[in-house]
Structure 1
Amino acid sequence: MRLALQQARKRAGLTQNQVAEEMEWSTSKVIRIENGDVTISANDLRSLLGFLGVRDRATVTDLLAATRIARTRQRQAWYQAEEFRDTLTDDLRKLIEYESEATEIRSYSIYYIPGPLQTRDYATALMSRYEDELTEDQRTRRVEARMRRREALLGRPDGVRILLMVDESVLRRTIGGPAVFADQLRDLKKHVRDGTVRIRMVPFSLDASVTNNASFDLLRMSVGEALYRETGLGDEMIEDHDTAAKHHARYDRVWNEAADEEDTIQFIEAQIKELERAVADRARQK
């Protein structure tokens, strides 16, 4: 919804200030609507669409239906609860909302398995790295948020196409120890085998990179694409067509150069066997 309104405003050649002045709103209200921080009533939406020149009956009907759903969803959304609003960044909450709407998600990771595909033990082990920065309660809530994202995304009745491209290091980094990481790889393999996820590995031997400083997610919705980018210092949601298109092109180029799905699965299976041997060796040494 917010992406459609933002695009309609830009097509009309209007600034947020101009929209605010015409609608007799504050500029901050326009910004909050476009950011998804607040929803818009059906009556306000009709007036706004008329001002923006959106008059196609089918489009107006779809957007009115979408705003009713959005208002209900925002009231009921788990990630809007106080305990999660204190835990999740504004941009991460936008990402979670987009995950519920996306028809396709392209994910690229250079450090670890992406959040919605993490097992609880893997997520807990990963979060333990932040014990100096976060309280135990904050870490627990962040793990719970990842589990809810996982349930919502993988359990979508309408399905979503997920393409996952990971650096080889992601499939080698033994987060949580051999047993936890083996379970994580087995879980990932299951989702690949049942067709929920397509995966390709960028091997160390491949002289190519999508980006050298950030993991990201590209989410395709009916109204366009949005880019969520994450580094060790912060995260951001970018709703700019040109930036999303540039990342999309880079992603597809490296996807076609990376190890194919079957080779990647064989690599994962070899890793699982090696981890299982490590677990068995540890058990014998006790």
Structure 2
Amino acid sequence: MPGDPGSGESPAAARRRLRLALRRARESAGLTQGKVADALDWSVSKVNRIEKGSVSVSTTDLRALLGLYGVVDADRAERLLRDARTSRLRGWWDEPRYREHLTPAMLQLLQLEGEASAIRVFQPTLIPGLLQTREYGEFVLNFWRSELPEADRALRLEARLRRRDQVLDRPDPPEFHLVLDESVLWRTIGGPRVMAGQFAALLRVARRPNVRVRIVPFADAAIMAMLAPFTLLDFGDEENALLYREGLLLDEIVHAAQRIGRHRGYFAHIWDSAHDEATSARLITERTAALTADLPAAQAPSVGG
């Protein structure tokens, strides 16, 4: 039965807390993943997946791990068992109609970004899915029209919009930093009306106190050409961060601290080289005005609100 993250602790938060606790307990016991696998007659990949949070852990398996790690404190064990039960609750993204249209990496991202305290997005080509309007998203997804039927594209769009609501409109929204390449302003997807509507929506979001949007000028295009889009998620502590990387045909979730640290450095460099928020907002506003100049007044989007 699908769980309702709004009614209590979310499955993502419980799974994240559990995987970190199990890794620390294993390390405190002086065991490698290989030794754990041998002792419990599991595969190393199973231990690895549990510690990465990519699979849920049953209460039976959890008790076996706690016994092996020497965890004897009853209260601690009960908290971890409670987390294991909560982590197995299902979110809306687990519905069959969505699962077949979402990659494993995107499913993990959906589970976790709703709990992130900070999200940093680098996007050199498009408005990121989290901020796309319905019309803009439709045109982006139409790129796949030769491979995906209209009904499938509609489901992906619905998932994209639900994702936005889950992250940006929650009671405690994350700190959200977005860096766009200036070329995004000039890539008119869906025509002037759709693009202007997307920029108007972006400006409204950018006015929120937790959101900061910056544009990297054409003059700093070198690094933009070398990096694929990526998203950094933080959860209040360094070791609990993750990286999501996406390309045209492939995406991945990365937990490796070294790669996450490297992309933190990339983001910091790009952020510092970008226009500040006020200048970026002015550029977006000017581009919106140019796009709407020849539109009938009834079609011009509002940037207020």
TM over 0.5: yes
Determine if the alignment matches structure 1 residue 19 to structure 2 residue 33.
no
TM-score relative to the length of structure 1? 0.86
Deviation of 1:172 after TM superposition, in Å, equals: 2.0
Summarize the alignment of residues 56-135 of structure 1 with structure 2, pairs less than 5 Å apart.
63-72=80-89, 75=90, 77-135=91-149
What SS is found at the alignment partner of 2:281?
helix
Contact 1:215/1:230, CA 8 A, preserved across alignment: yes
Residue in 1 that maps onto 2:215: 201
Residue in 2 that maps onto 1:217: 231
Distance in 2, matches of 1:52 and 1:71, equals 22
Distance in 2, matches of 1:132 and 1:44, equals 44
Deviation of 1:191 after TM superposition, in Å, equals: 1.0
What SS is found at the alignment partner of 1:209?
helix
Distance in 2, matches of 1:220 and 1:269, equals 30
Residue in 2 that maps onto 1:234: 250
| Amino acid in the other structure paired with 2:137 | A
Summarize the alignment of residues 147-158 of structure 1 with structure 2, pairs less than 5 Å apart.
147-158=161-172
1:88-120 Cα offsets, whole Å, 9 max, x none, are 000110111110221111100011111111111
Determine if the alignment matches structure 1 residue 267 to structure 2 residue 287.
no
TM-score relative to the length of structure 2? 0.81
- Go from structure 1 to structure 2 and tell me whether the alpha carbon gap of 1:14 and 1:250 turns closer, same or farther (over 3 Å shift): farther
Deviation of 1:177 after TM superposition, in Å, equals: 1.0
What SS is found at the alignment partner of 2:127?
coil
- Go from structure 1 to structure 2 and tell me whether the alpha carbon gap of 1:173 and 1:28 turns closer, same or farther (over 3 Å shift): same
What SS is found at the alignment partner of 1:243?
helix
1:112-142 Cα offsets, whole Å, 9 max, x none, are 1111111111100111111112221221111
**Farther-moved stretch of structure 1 (37-46 vs 234-243):** 37-46
RMSD over aligned CA atoms reads 2.8
| Amino acid in the other structure paired with 1:209 | I
- List runs of 5+ in structure 2 lacking aligned partners: 1-14, 300-305
Distance in 2, matches of 1:14 and 1:41, equals 21
| Amino acid in the other structure paired with 1:276 | T
Contact 1:95/1:237, CA 8 A, preserved across alignment: yes
- Go from structure 1 to structure 2 and tell me whether the alpha carbon gap of 1:29 and 1:131 turns closer, same or farther (over 3 Å shift): same
- Go from structure 1 to structure 2 and tell me whether the alpha carbon gap of 1:198 and 1:55 turns closer, same or farther (over 3 Å shift): farther
Distance in 1, matches of 2:31 and 2:241, equals 21
Contact 2:205/2:211, CA 8 A, preserved across alignment: yes
Deviation of 1:42 after TM superposition, in Å, equals: 4.3
Contact 1:230/1:236, CA 8 A, preserved across alignment: yes
Distance in 1, matches of 2:94 and 2:228, equals 26
Determine if the alignment matches structure 1 residue 256 to structure 2 residue 272.
yes
Deviation of 1:48 after TM superposition, in Å, equals: 2.3
**Farther-moved stretch of structure 1 (11-20 vs 265-274):** 11-20
- Go from structure 1 to structure 2 and tell me whether the alpha carbon gap of 1:58 and 1:260 turns closer, same or farther (over 3 Å shift): farther
Identity percentage of aligned residues: 38
Determine if the alignment matches structure 1 residue 276 to structure 2 residue 292.
yes
- Go from structure 1 to structure 2 and tell me whether the alpha carbon gap of 1:124 and 1:6 turns closer, same or farther (over 3 Å shift): farther
Aligned length: 279
2:183 alignment partner, one of 164, 169, 188: 169
| Amino acid in the other structure paired with 1:41 | S
- List runs of 5+ in structure 1 lacking aligned partners: none
Contact 1:213/1:231, CA 8 A, preserved across alignment: no
Contact 1:119/1:184, CA 8 A, preserved across alignment: yes
Contact 2:52/2:255, CA 8 A, preserved across alignment: no
**Farther-moved stretch of structure 1 (155-164 vs 117-126):** 155-164
Determine if the alignment matches structure 1 residue 247 to structure 2 residue 269.
no
Deviation of 1:233 after TM superposition, in Å, equals: 2.4
2:204 alignment partner, one of 181, 190, 200: 190
